[in-house]
Amino acid sequence: MKAPASTAVYFRVTGGLFLLLALTVSLAFVDMGPLNIVVAMTIAVVKALLVVLYFMHVKSADGVTRAAACAGVLWLIVMVALTLSDFLTRT
Amino acid sequence: MGEHRIPVAHQFDDSVQQRSAATLGMWIFLATEVLFFGGMVLAYAVYRVLNPEAFARASRVQNILLGGINTAVLLTSSCTMALAVHAAQHGQRRRSVICLLSTMFLGLAFLVIKGVEYAEKLHEHLVPGIDFRYAGADAGAAQLYFILYFLLTGFHALHLTIGIGLLAVLAVRSALGYFSAEYSNPVEVAGLYWHFVDIVWIFLYPLIYLIQAYR
Amino acid sequence: MMHGFPIFPPAASTTAHQVDALFTGLLIMTVFFSGLIFFCITFFAIRYREGSKASRANARSEHLPLELAWMIIPLGISFVFYVWASTLFAKMHVAPPDATEIYVVGKQWMWKIQHQQGNREINELHVPAGRPVKLIMTSQDVIHSFFVPAFRIKQDVLPGRYSTEWFQATTPGVYHFFCSQFCGTSHASMIGDVIVMEPSQYERWLAGESTGTPMASSGEQLFRQFGCATCHQANNTGRGPSLVGLMGSRVALEGGGAVVADREYVQESILNPAAKIVRGYRPLMPVFRNQLTADQVSQLIEYIRSLGGSPVAAEGSTQ
Amino acid sequence: MSPHSITTHDHYLNAGYGVRSWLLTTDHKRIAILYMISITFFFFIGGFFAFLMRMELLTPDGDLVSAETYNKLFSMHGITMVWFFLIPSIPSVLGNFLVPLMVGARDLAFPRLNLLSWYIYVAGGLFTLAAMIFGGVDTGWTFYTPFSSTYAHSNVIPVVIGIFILGFSSILTALNFIVTIHTMRAPGLTWFRLPLFIWAMYATSIILVLATPVLAITLAMLGVERIFGVGLFDPALGGDPLLFQHLFWFYSHPAVYIMILPAMGVVSEVITCFARKKVFGYKFMAFSLLAIASVGFLVWGHHMFVSGQSAYAGMVFSALSFIVAIPSAVKVFNWAATLYKGSISYHTPVLYGFGFIGLFTIGGLTGLFLASIAVDVHVHDTYFVIAHFHYIMVGGAVMGYLGGIHYWWPKMTGRLYPEGWAKFAALVLFVGFNLTFFPQFILGYLGMPRRYHVYPPEFQVLNVLSSAGATILGIGYLIPFVYLIWSLRHGKNAGANPWRASGLEWQTTSPPPVNNFEETPVVTGEPYTYAEEESPGG
């Protein structure tokens, strides 16, 4: 949980986030069919990971914090996946 | 309040225990928040799977530029928030206050831009429940898109507003010297909350604005 | 016949006894395991009561093989029952293709039933014994559920959707049916009787009580009455697509994508035409949501089915 | 009968007497007492609704109350019992009292949050109560759309708001427990030295934290649909009512485990204490709690087998539901094995413990009938389901709660209750419970649907039996209520550890001092060290 000595890492991460933002917007204008949503979500996950790991210091956090950070997302995935298992298999 | 006296509540053994309790508490709270937004995300996922075309068409009324600017604003605010925490942890009171105030300012800017977008929707009769009129063929499914748009962004804006309030209190306390290099826990915990609100938006932007920008 | 203490309701369909068999299997398993637990607790509680002389030598508080045993054995038993129940369900779920189709509409608080031949009844359902019958059900307001205990079947009836269930009655007689999904004030009076008749008797009943107009013909009348034929011309020259051979076919849509024209699609296209527009046509059709009852929509669907189409149409949606 | 040591030491009860000392307290023990009083109030309200329903069902006709009233009665019975009694029962009362004591801490991690959670509970409770008094609600506790969102004319919105508020109380309590258990354990108290009650609280808290927000947003969406007339779940406007059911049961199925896991924790403590033997298979018991909590999240679709959900999803949910049976079986077998070669004394708590194991076994095994998809088609929404979940919730959770109250009452109040009366009450409850709910299994298989205030006459015999049982059950609940209150003044002095139990909570005085322990305890060994303490060789 300790903050790094230098603030340089925050500026680098912010720069990365802006690049990814530009990337996701420009790729949204390319017709990739069903891949558009996959690409957009992948970029969003990378952005979120940057924020979680560096801004929220999970990179240097203990196991409990990491578990808590994962739990909500994991449960959300379970909820969406099992619900869609109904909607996608309706006949 | 003494500059280096760390307030430890009676139930804790020491400030280390207090700090890890507060941090873990916030993380668990954020886990509940994920599921809270998750309910709406699930509704969004189901209805988008059922009505892919309608969602794509409805999303075209969104202003990708304003949404993009807002994303940039929030990303920047996360950076200033991280800097505020960093400054607080190193006992740099002045820097910490300035960073907190800039974070608040960016949060407010986000809300203003969001307000402009809401006003446009209201003007164009795109607010379900308030004289909703939609020119496209599939008004029913489009209405679902707009309800979910308002629910998701509305709850997000509510969280942001709470965050701004939180930062205001912290900025005042910072200025009054409540925090020090040894005791900056409230700022850290508020930072976690702020970053979470940012992450929610990171997902909302492509889900709401960028469904079919290429058409 | 209901005197004394019946445990099983009358079993009057081909699958009822199979459900009862599964139920009995579960019952035996339950009696065995709860008996085992009750016995252990009682026996231990008495034998090892405080101050008793029973030996406590070598008492242990862990035993890995035992733990594994009481994980693996229940897992195996669960697996057996899962497979048993699921195969039976799969059989109960899919109706035979030659089933007699009867339309059911649930509304607060009655069941309206329409036979293909045009007979209509309320809170009564006449069916032949020995022939599969498929109920095609929809709701006009909230969710209902069509439950016939004697047939061991139940299926929720949803607004905006057609759900189905089927049975083959075995024994002539009168059996209850209930609405089993809470639907408002008079939920408990949304009940009726299934009257199972010998097939010959059933034919006579159909002929005798008939309103004279088969569903498809009523649908045809509605089709003319509401001016549908003006646009939906058989030779595809109208402003709307031809409906001949529509049922069960794949329909390409405006804006990409395609759907199979089943009952839900036709129902949606009548009630809310703009939801899916056939490729090459414009959204001109008026909305019939508040002009047609669920019964009438079913009649129109039967009419469109009578115009031909692939056999898939008869299936409609299976759930 | 004058109290002895209770007046001679300082403890949390005599630390202050004014109303303010209670309403502004941040002491977890006092907050537990506040919760106990509040949930008892709601328990009797919910019980009163149930009593009226059982009286109505004595005859096949609707002669006592109208259809509308009956519909409100079962709705409000469910809402009150589920949200205002069962879910807070063991966690908020016993958990609040015991978690800090059992981990050797001075209080929960966030005492003010704890008090806030009680106030939120009371606010949600009063809001809902007002909505019930001024009109009531008739949607059932499940709020199925589109009935609740479009067709019901009762106070849906106020009740939904009340439950929405209440949800925050659950979340705050659970958050507090998780943080406390993680960060505030006494020195030497490693995870595998924790009492199983703590494991149960931990597992329960995980469910509360991850499921409750979904209920909150679901009810919020229901409210939006009803207030603004927009179609989130209404098929007439493009929505899908089954989405509501998915969201609702994603919370409400795990909610069943919120009720039963704490009771399992209580029973583990009680059985091991009165068998004077370490609980059998400690690690399996601990992990089975976590297993039930996590797998319990994957099975909600078994409430929807006949709802119009796809057959494929139905079969997936059926398989997952069978899997929950495994950790449940592990628990039951381990309790039985704990008794083997124990030295069992029959005090009231252990009678509740035996009752719990028996009733939970039946409740759990009948759950397999409902997981078996082909049988569920027949018994879904009949009295079979009613009987099944009352075996879990009343036979399981309430028995566990009462067992826990009797076990820790001496610790909480410093007093003993009259043992003879207590055993008698336990027996009355066991008999009354089975007479009430066992006939409902048969009724259900015969096909009597739930939520019917009139029914075909052939169901009457079983309904009369059930109502007769309900009367006995009702009286059974009044007996402990009376003698426990009586014991507050007249009960014998309990002493620090009347049951000679292990566990940190018994090492401090009864009632405990405000800060729980004179000095922070240090733990050096495993839990439940009964065998060594009693074996003649040492």
CATH code at position B79: 1.20.120.80
3-state class (DSSP) for residue D518: coil
D533 or B39, which is more confident? B39
Number of helices (H), then strands (E), belonging to chain C: the values are 7, 12
D100 cis-preceded (ω within 30 degrees of 0): no
Chain A contact set for D304 (CB, 8 A): 86
Cα within 13 Å of Cα(D278), Cβ side: 19
Burial code of D148-182, b = ≥16 C-beta within 10 A, e = fewer? bbbbbebbbbbbbbbbbbbbbbbbbbbbbbbbbbb
Contacts of A46 (CB under 8 A, 6+ apart): A20
Q: Is C318 on the interface with A (CB under 8 A)?
A: yes
Helices (H), D380-529: 383-390, 399-413, 419-446, 460-490
- Please tell me the predicted confidence (pLDDT) of residue C5: 64
Chain D from 281 to 300: CB within 8 A of any A CB: 297-298, 300
Q: Do A87 and B214 touch (CB under 8 A)?
A: no
DSSP per-residue letters across B139-177:
HHHHHHHHHHHHHHHHHHHHHHHHHHHHHHHHHHHHHTT
Contact D179, D206 (CB under 8 A): no
Size of interface A-D (CB pairs under 8 A): 38
Q: Do B17 and D520 touch (CB under 8 A)?
A: no
Give the nearest chain C residue to A90 (CA atoms).
C319
- Please tell me the predicted confidence (pLDDT) of residue C319: 35
The rounded distance, in Å, linking the Cα atoms of D280 and D283 is 9
- Please tell me the predicted confidence (pLDDT) of residue D445: 95
Size of interface B-C (CB pairs under 8 A): 18
What percent of chain C lies above the pLDDT cut of 70? Answer: 93
Chain A from 51 to 90: CB within 8 A of any C CB: 90
Chain B contact set for C257 (CB, 8 A): 52-53
Q: List the beta bridge partners of residue C193.
A: C124, C176
A53 shares its domain with A82: no
How many other C-beta atoms are found inside a 10 Å radius of the C-beta of residue A63?
A: 7
A42 shares its domain with A71: no
Give the pLDDT band of residue C286 (cuts 50, 70, 90): confident
Which of B171-185, C214-228, D408-422 bottoms out in mean pLDDT, i.e. has the lowest?
A: C214-228
pTM flag (> 0.80): yes
Closest CA to B157 of B119, B112, B120: B112
What interface predicted TM-score (ipTM) does this complex get?
0.91
CA angle C123, C127, C133 (to 5 degrees): 110
Contacts of C310 (CB under 8 A, 6+ apart): C245, C247, C248, C249
- Please tell me the predicted confidence (pLDDT) of residue A56: 93
Q: Do B64 and A28 touch (CB under 8 A)?
A: yes
Average pLDDT of the residues of chain C: 87
Give the nearest chain C residue to D358 (CA atoms).
C38
The rounded distance, in Å, linking the Cα atoms of D324 and D271 is 23
On the question of pLDDT at C210 being above 80, the answer is no
Give the nearest chain C residue to A86 (CA atoms).
C319
Contact D77, D53 (CB under 8 A): yes
Structure tokens at C145: 């559920």
A51 shares its domain with A11: yes
pLDDT, tens only, C298-312:
888 888 888 876 544
Region B78-104: what's the mean pLDDT?
A: 94
H or E stretch covering D228: helix D196-228
Cα within 13 Å of Cα(D308), Cβ side: 26
Q: Do B53 and C272 touch (CB under 8 A)?
A: no
Closest CA to D185 of D170, D199, D204, D205: D199
User: Domain C12-28+71-212, what fold?
Assistant: Immunoglobulin-like (2.60.40)
A84 shares its domain with A55: no
The rounded distance, in Å, linking the Cα atoms of D312 and D301 is 11
The rounded distance, in Å, linking the Cα atoms of D421 and C120 is 63
The rounded distance, in Å, linking the Cα atoms of A8 and D458 is 80
Whole-angstrom CA distances from C263 to C138, C144, C231, C269 are 11, 19, 20, 10
CA angle D378, C298, D145 (to 5 degrees): 50
Q: List the beta bridge partners of residue C258.
A: C252
Q: List the beta bridge partners of residue D223.
A: none
Chain B contact set for D175 (CB, 8 A): 25, 28-29, 32
Contacts of A35 (CB under 8 A, 6+ apart): none
Longest dimension (CA), chain A: 58
Q: Is A1 on the interface with D (CB under 8 A)?
A: no
- Please tell me the predicted confidence (pLDDT) of residue C274: 74
Number of compact structural domains in chain B: 1
Q: List the beta bridge partners of residue C176.
A: C193
Sorted by where each starts, the structural domains of chain D and their CATH numbers stand as 17-534 (1.20.210.10)
Q: Do B151 and D106 touch (CB under 8 A)?
A: no
On the question of pLDDT at B24 being above 50, the answer is yes
The rounded distance, in Å, linking the Cα atoms of C66 and C97 is 51
The rounded distance, in Å, linking the Cα atoms of C133 and D472 is 46
Contact B175, B93 (CB under 8 A): yes
Backbone φ and ψ for D323, nearest 5 degrees, come out as: -65, -30
- Please tell me the predicted confidence (pLDDT) of residue D1: 38
Number of compact structural domains in chain A: 2
- Please tell me the predicted confidence (pLDDT) of residue C314: 40
| B215 is a domain residue | no
Q: Do B23 and A65 touch (CB under 8 A)?
A: yes
3-state class (DSSP) for residue A58: helix
Region C210-220: what's the mean pLDDT?
A: 78
A33 shares its domain with A6: yes
Q: Do B46 and D105 touch (CB under 8 A)?
A: no
- Please tell me the predicted confidence (pLDDT) of residue D538: 34
On the question of pLDDT at B54 being above 90, the answer is no
Average pLDDT of the residues of chain B: 91
| B122 is a domain residue | yes
* E-state strands within C140-282: 144-148, 153-157, 163-168, 173-179, 192-197, 250-252, 258-260
A54 shares its domain with A11: yes
pLDDT, tens only, B110-127:
999 999 999 999 888 888
Q: Starting from the edge strand earliest in sequence, which strands make up the sheet with C153-157, in order? A: C124-128, C192-197, C173-179, C144-148, C153-157
Compute the Cα dihedral for A71, A72, A75, A76 and give only its sign. Answer: negative
Q: Is D210 on the interface with B (CB under 8 A)?
A: yes
Give the pLDDT band of residue C158 (cuts 50, 70, 90): very high
Closest CA to A89 of C278, C93, C138: C93
H or E stretch covering D20: helix D19-23
Rounded to a whole number, what is the distance in Å from the CA of B124 to chain C's nearest CA?
20
A8 shares its domain with A44: yes
Token pair 């008492």 is at which residue? C59
Q: Please state which CATH number belongs to domain C215-313.
A: 1.10.760.10
Structure tokens at D294: 């996590």
pLDDT, tens only, B133-144:
877 667 788 889
Give the pLDDT band of residue A90 (cuts 50, 70, 90): confident
pLDDT, tens only, C130-156:
999 999 999 999 999 999 999 999 999
- Please tell me the predicted confidence (pLDDT) of residue C310: 54
Q: Is B182 on the interface with D (CB under 8 A)?
A: no
Give the nearest chain D residue to C45 (CA atoms).
D344
Which chains form contacts with chain A, at 3 or more CB pairs under 8 Å?
B, C, D
Contacts of C204 (CB under 8 A, 6+ apart): none
A56 shares its domain with A70: no
A46 shares its domain with A7: yes
Taking each helix axis from N to C end, the angle separating B139-175 and B52-59, rounded to the nearest 10 degrees, works out to 60
| B73 is a domain residue | yes
Structure tokens at A43: 């970029």
A13 shares its domain with A56: yes
Per-residue pLDDT of chain D (538 residues; tens, 9 = 90+): 344 456 678 899 988 888 999 999 999 999 999 999 999 999 999 999 999 999 999 999 988 999 999 999 999 999 999 999 999 999 999 999 999 999 999 999 999 999 999 999 999 999 999 999 999 999 999 999 899 998 998 899 999 999 999 999 999 999 999 999 999 999 999 999 999 999 999 999 999 999 999 999 999 999 999 998 888 998 877 789 999 999 999 999 999 999 999 999 999 999 999 999 999 999 999 999 999 999 999 999 999 999 999 999 999 999 999 999 999 999 999 999 999 999 999 999 999 999 999 999 999 999 999 999 999 999 999 999 999 999 999 999 999 999 999 999 999 999 999 999 999 999 999 999 999 999 999 999 999 999 999 999 999 999 999 999 999 999 999 999 999 999 999 999 988 999 999 889 999 998 999 999 988 899 888 888 886 555 443 3
Question: Which one-letter DSSP state was computed for residue D450?
Answer: S
| B114 is a domain residue | yes
| B76 is a domain residue | yes
Q: Do D175 and B11 touch (CB under 8 A)?
A: no
The rounded distance, in Å, linking the Cα atoms of D262 and D400 is 8
Contacts of D452 (CB under 8 A, 6+ apart): C178, C187, C188
Rounded to a whole number, what is the distance in Å from the CA of B172 to chain D's nearest CA?
22
Chain D contact set for A71 (CB, 8 A): 206, 210
Chain B contact set for D230 (CB, 8 A): 128-129, 132, 143, 147
Q: Is D316 on the interface with A (CB under 8 A)?
A: yes
- Please tell me the predicted confidence (pLDDT) of residue C302: 86
Q: Is B142 on the interface with C (CB under 8 A)?
A: no
Backbone φ and ψ for C135, nearest 5 degrees, come out as: -95, 130
Whole-angstrom CA distances from C61 to C49, D105, D284, D337, D454 are 18, 28, 11, 8, 53
Contacts of C284 (CB under 8 A, 6+ apart): C231, C239, C240
The rounded distance, in Å, linking the Cα atoms of D143 and D137 is 10
- Tell me, rounded to whole angstroms, the distance of Cα D180 from its chain centroid: 21
A3 shares its domain with A31: yes
The rounded distance, in Å, linking the Cα atoms of D49 and B127 is 42
Contact C240, C281 (CB under 8 A): yes
- Please tell me the predicted confidence (pLDDT) of residue B96: 94
Q: Which domain holds residue A75?
A: 62-91
Token pair 């209520």 is at which residue? D481
- Please tell me the predicted confidence (pLDDT) of residue D476: 95
The rounded distance, in Å, linking the Cα atoms of D259 and D388 is 14
DSSP per-residue letters across D390-415:
HIIIIIIIIHHHHHHHHHHHHHHHSE
| B31 is a domain residue | yes
What percent of chain C lies above the pLDDT cut of 90? Answer: 53
C275 or D234, which is more confident? D234
pLDDT, tens only, A21-53:
999 999 999 888 888 999 999 999 999 999 999
Structure tokens at C275: 């939801």
Token pair 């003879």 is at which residue? D420
Cα within 13 Å of Cα(D228), Cβ side: 22
Q: Which domain holds residue B46?
A: 15-208
Which chains form contacts with chain C, at 3 or more CB pairs under 8 Å?
A, B, D
A19 shares its domain with A54: yes
Contact C273, C300 (CB under 8 A): no
Tell me which of A73, A82, A86, A88 to substitute to probe the interface with D (most D C-beta atoms closer than 10 Å): A86
- Please tell me the predicted confidence (pLDDT) of residue C311: 46
Q: What does chain D come to in residues?
A: 538
